Amino acid sequence: MQARVLVRAAQLRYSQRVRTCRLQLARINAAGELAQMSRELIEAGLAHTWTAMRIARHIQHPESVVLSAHVEHACAGFAVMQFAQESAHLNLLAVRPQYQRRGIARQMLNWLHESAVTAGTFVVRLELRATSAAAHAFYRALGYRDAGRSAAYYQGVEDALCMVRDLRINDGVLRAPNG
Ligand SMILES: CC(C)(COP(=O)(O)OP(=O)(O)OC[C@H]1O[C@@H](n2cnc3c(N)ncnc32)[C@H](O)[C@@H]1OP(=O)(O)O)[C@@H](O)C(=O)NCCC(=O)NCCS
């Protein structure tokens, strides 16, 4: 009983934190801003490969979803996921520093998980920079499991950690009531 009360309290705290964040499918004219966010938040120190043109291709591609998160009029974060028959692949996910730890990335990922399940895709895979402890902690909190390491995956200079989540397994990951 106490655990249920604690979970409910955490859900309320969580829903209050994300209440002001609005998710939408990114529009083509947002590609430049999202590419800039990728350059600064995800690809820092690497050559910039997620150009505006590449992001625009994903926005237009029928098997990709590019999601943006907005707080008032500002774009606070975004995500790119590619869907295939057997699994989905999370290509990019970032939240601007001033909006972090408000549950925005969790809300975006939950939205993408629901889309994947609706499409009949139950496995999500991703890679992240091996030096990114915050991202690793985030994905673990969202129920992702370590699935190996890919040496020099990023332009020959940095390893990637591979992670996977089976969306059929509900292992007690806390969900937002509205998320
Ligand atoms: C990783 C990232 C997307 C998380 O975004 P966020 O909106 O701050 O994450 P959330 O607020 O939804 O966090 C959900 C949970 O993840 C965990 N988490 C998130 N950031 C964390 C951090 N810096 N350290 C430890 N745990 C963290 C926590 O359990 C958190 O729940 P809590 O705040 O109730 O403790 C963000 O830090 C980011 O954009 N980093 C730079 C880009 C990047 O590395 N992207 C991922 C690889 S593509």
Looking from the CA of residue 91, the nearest atom of ligand 1 is 48
Which residue among 68, 80, 100 has the greatest number of ligand 1 atoms within 8 angstroms of its CB, and so is best to mutate?
100
Residues with CB under 6 A from ligand 1: 41-42, 92-95, 100-106, 128, 132, 134-135, 137-138, 141
**What local confidence, expressed as pLDDT, does residue 29 receive?**
97
Q: What percent of the chain clears pLDDT 70, i.e. is strictly above it? A: 84
Active site (catalytic) residues: 127, 139
The matching CATH number, chosen from 3.30.2310.20, 3.20.10.10, 3.40.50.720, 3.40.630.30, for 2-166 is: 3.40.630.30
Does residue 3 have a pLDDT over 50?
Answer: no
Looking from the CA of residue 104, the nearest atom of ligand 1 is 7
Does residue 74 have a pLDDT over 70?
Answer: yes
Ranges 46-50, 61-65, 109-113, 167-171: which has the least confidence: 167-171
136: pLDDT confidence band, cut at 50, 70 and 90? very high
2: pLDDT confidence band, cut at 50, 70 and 90? very low
Looking from the CA of residue 126, the nearest atom of ligand 1 is 48
Say which residue the tokens 């895709």 belong to. 121
**What local confidence, expressed as pLDDT, does residue 90 receive?**
98
Backbone φ and ψ for 122, nearest 5 degrees, come out as -110, -5
Domain ranges of the chain: 2-166
Does residue 21 have a pLDDT over 80?
Answer: yes
| 3-state helix/strand/coil string of the chain | CHHHHHHHHHHHHHHHHHCCEEEEECCHHHHHHHHHHHHHHHCCCCCCCCCHHHHHHHHHCCCEEEEEEEECCEEEEEEEEEECCCCEEEEEEEECHHHCCCCHHHHHHHHHHHHHHHCCCCEEEEEEECCCHHHHHHHHHCCCEEEEEEEEEECCCEEEEEEEEECCCCCCCCCCCCC
Question: Which residue's CA is minimally distant from atom 47 of ligand 1?
Answer: 128
Output the average pLDDT for the chain: 89
173 Cα: distance to centroid of ligand 1 (angstroms): 15
Does residue 17 have a pLDDT over 80?
Answer: no
3 Cα: distance to centroid of ligand 1 (angstroms): 24
The amino acid at 132: S
The amino acid at 109: L
Rounded distance, CA 94 to CA 97, Å? 9
27 Cα: distance to centroid of ligand 1 (angstroms): 24
